Structure 1
């Protein structure tokens, strides 16, 4: 299997994670006699503030990638594989929403690590994404959701509205007011936003530091593949 064939089988988010891991792995540092000195040098080269931020960087990559596997599963198979299994539908519903939440956490840490401007504005935008608001309403703060006016609300999912595509989920809130939710569209919107910020991170970090030729070409090939597709 060629590199291009391999990349065509995975998501853009996963490819971005490979590039980020490459940035961590291939950042050039001298060999020092102690681990502490080695970590200090790596922290300096990555321009991080705290001594073990490199470890947080790796944790963000892993969290982003692991959560993407759950999102990919939802995109490919919807809320169930085996029909009429209510437990599977709820596992997938709650799972994909919390996978989105985990990715927001990873992106938030990444923009801090790489010292992005307007971090507060970015965090607010991420929190307002439909998938995250829905997660807070039905998969986290379901019976004590506090809205922007500091009013407490509660939400229920109409079980009869759950189907494979999750395109018309009925959400019932206090006073029997209802909303119809297209979860597939929410997840698509969410992923587009995550890809947007991953692109900014990779574009900023990949081309602003020096790597060995072979390592750079490996990462650049992946970045160019994303831009072509």
Structure 2
């Protein structure tokens, strides 16, 4: 399999996660005599603040990859596969909604670790997206949902079962006032994922433009970054 074949089969977020892992592996750290000393030097080279931050960085990479597998599965196959069971519909819906919530935490941590400007705005821009609102209404605070900026008593939501189709194109949320809110799941998934890609690109661009790697390592990282930049440009 060529590099292009491999990258063509990998999601954009997945490739960004691979680049981040490459940065962690290839950032130059001088030889040390102990694990503790290596951790200390790695923290300094990455310009992190705490000695456990490189471990947090690795945890973020792994969680970003794992959650994206779930998200890519729904992008590719929707909420209904061959089994066409009610249980699978809900499992896939609740699973993908919570995968996005986990990514909210991951991206916030990565933005903090790499000291992106406007951290609060970055988190708020993601936190107040429709997909996170949908997650809170259906997958977390379903019977005790507080509307932002409202002093009303908590709302409660249920999903109209008949509104679930393969792509979640017209999910019907019924609240306390019995009004039906219609939501396009896939469209809101794409919106959040595009925002995640934007933030990951800021991090990767910042690191590749401000660090010196061995030639072969930089070429490996740049190949992937050039690929996702071109892919996103063509997609838009």
Query: Which TM bucket (shorter chain)?
Result: over 0.9
Aligned to 2:168: 166
What are the Cα deviations for residues 5-44 of structure 1, in whole angstroms up to 9, with x where unaligned?
Answer: 1100110000000100000000101111111111110000
Query: Aligned pair 1:61/2:58, yes or no?
Result: no
Query: Aligned pair 1:214/2:213, yes or no?
Result: no
Query: Aligned pair 1:3/2:3, yes or no?
Result: yes
Alignment partner of 2:210: what SS? coil
Counterpart Cα distance in 2 of 1:92 and 1:130: 18
Counterpart Cα distance in 1 of 2:34 and 2:184: 54
Q: How much does 1:84 deviate?
A: 3.5
Q: How much does 1:118 deviate?
A: 1.1
Counterpart Cα distance in 2 of 1:71 and 1:103: 10
Q: How much does 1:165 deviate?
A: 1.4
Q: Which runs of 4+ in 1 moved over 4 A?
A: none
Q: How much does 1:82 deviate?
A: 2.3
Alignment partner of 1:167: what SS? coil
Aligned to 1:126: 126
Moved more, 164-173 or 145-154: 145-154
Query: Aligned pair 1:113/2:137, yes or no?
Result: no
Counterpart Cα distance in 2 of 1:40 and 1:202: 22
Aligned to 1:99: 99
What are the Cα deviations for residues 64-91 of structure 1, in whole angstroms up to 9, with x where unaligned?
Answer: 1100000000001110102530000000
Gaps of 5+ in 1: none
Aligned to 2:188: 186
Alignment partner of 2:177: what SS? helix
Aligned to 1:80: 80
Q: How much does 1:177 deviate?
A: 1.1
For normalisation by structure 1, the TM-score amounts to: 0.98
Task: State the Cα RMSD in Å.
Answer: 0.8
What are the Cα deviations for residues 45-64 of structure 1, in whole angstroms up to 9, with x where unaligned?
Answer: 00000011000000000001
Counterpart Cα distance in 2 of 1:82 and 1:132: 28
Alignment partner of 1:49: what SS? coil
Aligned to 2:207: 205
Q: How much does 1:168 deviate?
A: 0.6
Counterpart Cα distance in 2 of 1:184 and 1:45: 40
